[in-house]
Amino acid sequence: MRLAGKIIIVTGSTTGIGKAIAKRCVAEGARVVVHGLEKDWGQSILDELGTDNAVLHIEEISNEGTPDRLVDLAVKTFGKLDAIVNNAAKVASSDIHTTDKPFLQNIIEINTIAPFLLTKAALPHLTKTRGCVLNIGSINAWSGEPNLLGYSMSKGALMTMTRNLGDVLHRENGVRVNQINPGWVLTETEIKRKKEHGLKENWYEDIPDTYAPAGRILWPEEMAAAATYWLSDESGPVSGQVVDLEQHPLIGRNAPKNTTTINVKK
């Protein structure tokens, strides 16, 4: 039980990576606040985890006051707060021509500002427990794909915030802040998104090895396994770190030529 007794908020946990993290946290002995937009999906997860181990909150993360309500729910239900996982995010295609001011403001509000505000709301409680923050970024933070400009900008900002707060909050509050940057992950929404882009029904079974040397892309459960380390006491005093989780190097890679291009999203 690597997370025994810990109370953890996992945003965006009604589906995908967040759902896998919430389930892994409970399996490791924690109790969680499940959060998202899909009430029926959230209720299904709550039924699976049990009301002794989880509580559900359905609300857009960027709404005014949502961070405070999530923190209050965790403390009121379970008595304390040990960690938050900032996973909720909006993935939307855009480039220099299609990224206007309202679009950019919206995606940064959800992907960058909301995690900051939740961290700020949780800080007094995390200080008491010498807890931690885990931000879920994306490998697109390093530069991003041509059609993921706004999304990549928001994840780049999140990465800078992680490094900044990982230093300041660790020294001043005893709170660690780290980040994992998932590569291409086979979530429910990613399967649906690629079908909408015109790929075949079982597109994930035949991916060019330039994107998947292992013959498959990553699974949400593998992200959850990595998250467990950062949420547990095993990571010790490590703070302000950003770790890429992909099956090939992103910088300096000699990618094979003449390969089919597939837009990759977290």
3-state SS, 123-142, equals HHHHHHHCCEEEEECCHHHH
**pLDDT (0 to 100) of residue 250:** 81
pLDDT digits (tens, 9 = 90+) for 14-39: 999 999 999 999 999 999 999 999 99
Tokens of 98: 């299609």
- Note whether 104 and 157 are within 8 A (CB): no
Q: Measure the CA–CA gap between 60 and 89, rounded to whole angstroms.
A: 10
Q: Comparing C-alpha atoms, which of 250, 223, 216 is closest to residue 144?
A: 250
* pLDDT band, very low/low/confident/very high, at 257 (cuts 50, 70, 90): low
Range(s) of the chain covered by CATH 3.40.50.720: 7-183+221-245
CA quadruple 226, 266, 24, 219: dihedral positive or negative?
negative
- At residue 173, the 3 state secondary structure works out as helix
**pLDDT (0 to 100) of residue 254:** 64
Tokens of 171: 């020294």
Say how many CA atoms lie within 13 Å of 104 toward its Cβ: 12
* pLDDT band, very low/low/confident/very high, at 45 (cuts 50, 70, 90): very high
DSSP label of 110: I
**pLDDT (0 to 100) of residue 199:** 79
With a threshold of 0.85, does the pTM exceed it?
Answer: yes
- Note whether 87 and 179 are within 8 A (CB): no
What number is the average pLDDT over the span 71-77? 98
**pLDDT (0 to 100) of residue 32:** 98
Which DSSP helix (H) or strand (E) runs through 7?
strand 7-10
**pLDDT (0 to 100) of residue 195:** 80
What number is the average pLDDT over the span 8-17? 98
For 123-262, strand residue ranges (E) read 132-136, 176-182, 242-245
Catalytic residue among 151, 204, 211, 229: 151
Q: What is the mean pLDDT of the chain?
A: 93
What number is the average pLDDT over the span 27-52? 97
DSSP label of 203: G
Is 211 annotated as catalytic? no
Residue 81 vs residue 253, higher pLDDT = 81
**Domain 7-183+221-245, CATH number (from 3.40.50.620, 3.40.630.10, 3.40.50.720, 1.10.3720.10):** 3.40.50.720
